[in-house]
A and B are shown apart, each in its own frame.
Chain A
Amino acid sequence: MLSCKQASQLISQSLDRRLSLRERFALRLHLLICDVCERFRQQLLLLRDMVHKLRSHAEQDADVQLTAAARQRIAARLEHSPKPESGGY
């Protein structure tokens, strides 16, 4: 029988790798009888979901822009970099 500690480790790892059949079985058994670990599992899933939401919000935040100074720095840097040998076309 898995301990809560082992179960919590497997729950976390299930987000990073495919658990073996044996591990999945043991975990499922543990989760059937352990509400706390089941809660932990759901919280980790919510955590993952929310991290993705956080990312998409950050990606879509129109207020976040390159500053004029940053834009100029980049433009200057591009100006001075060697041109590709082939010239593109």
Chain B
Amino acid sequence: MAAQHDWLTEHGDFLYRFALARLRDPHLAEDAVQDTLLAAMQNQGFAGKSAPRTWLTGILKHKIIDIIRKQSREQVVEDLGEDLPDEAGMDDFFADDQRHWADKPQAWGAPQDELEQKQFLQVLQECMNRLPTKLAQLFMLREVHETDNEEICKELDISTTNAWVMLYRARMNLRKCLELNWLGS
């Protein structure tokens, strides 16, 4: 019988990093690893169909989505919920005629070398941390977890249109935050 302790020893850190990169919370990442190993123990019938790590990662992906979904249910409905007109909060970016940029995206250089990229990623991480929770969750699911839109809407119980609107807001905010905080060459 495959020993679950071996899984923990051999793949624990790998799974933990994988989860932390997507959940950004050490406690939640630990939960995800634990849930994954528990589920794996209960279901050992994979019988070498794939490498243990691949198999465990597959389980972990689902556990991460479960955790995000649970989180989003527990949240108090924030001001970015379903009930807002889709223009709210975005007015500042556009002129009064609601057609042209009021706040024109400025040029910033893409990071040129490794050092610049490191700095850029730091700024990006901080900008992501500053996103409102709900937007951050959705953005993480979409861009970090690369969940497709249909599944996102099912998991978070929002409409497709709303997902687009929220992702748009998340990107607008992140872009602006990068513009303000990243001084590219």
Interface residues of chain A, those whose CB is within 8 Å of chain B, are: 3-5, 8-9, 12-13, 15-17, 36, 39-40, 43-44, 46-48, 50-55, 57-61, 64-66, 70-71, 73-75, 77-78, 81-84, 86-89
Q: How far is the CB of B115 from chain A (nearest CB, A)?
A: 14
> Assuming A17-B149, A46-B110, A66-B12, is B1 touching A4 (CB within 8 A)?
no
For chain B, residues 99 to 130, give those with C-beta under 8 angstroms from any C-beta of chain A: 99-101, 104-105, 107-108, 110-111, 117, 120-121, 124-125, 128
Q: CB within 8 A of B121: which of A53, A83, A88? A: A53
User: Is there an interface contact between B98 and A86, defined as CB atoms closer than 8 Å?
Assistant: no
The tally of CB-CB contacts under 8 A between chains A and B is: 136
- Residue numbers in B under 8 Å from A78 (CB-CB): 4-5, 8, 34, 37-38, 41
Q: Can you offer 11 A-B residue contacts whose CB atoms are under 8 A?
A: A8-B168, A13-B168, A39-B105, A52-B144, A53-B117, A66-B30, A81-B38, A81-B41, A81-B42, A84-B42, A86-B44
How far is A43 from B101 in the complex, measured between Cα atoms in Å? 15
Most buried by B among A39, A66, A82: A66
Q: Which residues of A contact B175 (CB under 8 A)?
A: 40, 43-44, 47
Asked if B21 and A74 make an inter-chain contact with CB atoms under 8 angstroms apart, the answer reads no
- Taking CB atoms and an 8 Å cut-off, the chain B residues in 19-40 that contact chain A are 20-22, 26, 30, 33-34, 37-38
CA distance A57 to B117 in the complex (A): 11
- B residues within 8 Å of A by Cβ? 1-2, 4-5, 8, 12-13, 16-18, 20-22, 26, 30, 33-34, 37-38, 41-45, 93-94, 98-101, 104-105, 107-108, 110-111, 117, 120-121, 124-125, 128, 142-144, 149, 163-164, 167-168, 171-172, 174-175, 178
- Chain B residues closer than 8 Å to A66, beta-carbon distance: 12-13, 16, 30, 33
Name the one of A8, A16, A60, A70 contacting B163, with C-beta atoms under 8 angstroms.
A16
**Closest CB-CB distance, A19 to chain B, in whole Å?**
11
A43 proximity list for chain B (CB < 8 A): 105, 108, 175, 178
What A residues does B41 contact at CB under 8 A? 78, 81, 83-84
Knowing A64-B20, A88-B44, say if A70 contacts B30 (CB, 8 Å): yes
Asked if A84 contacts B5 (CB within 8 A), the reply is: no
Least CB distance from A9 to B in Å reads 6
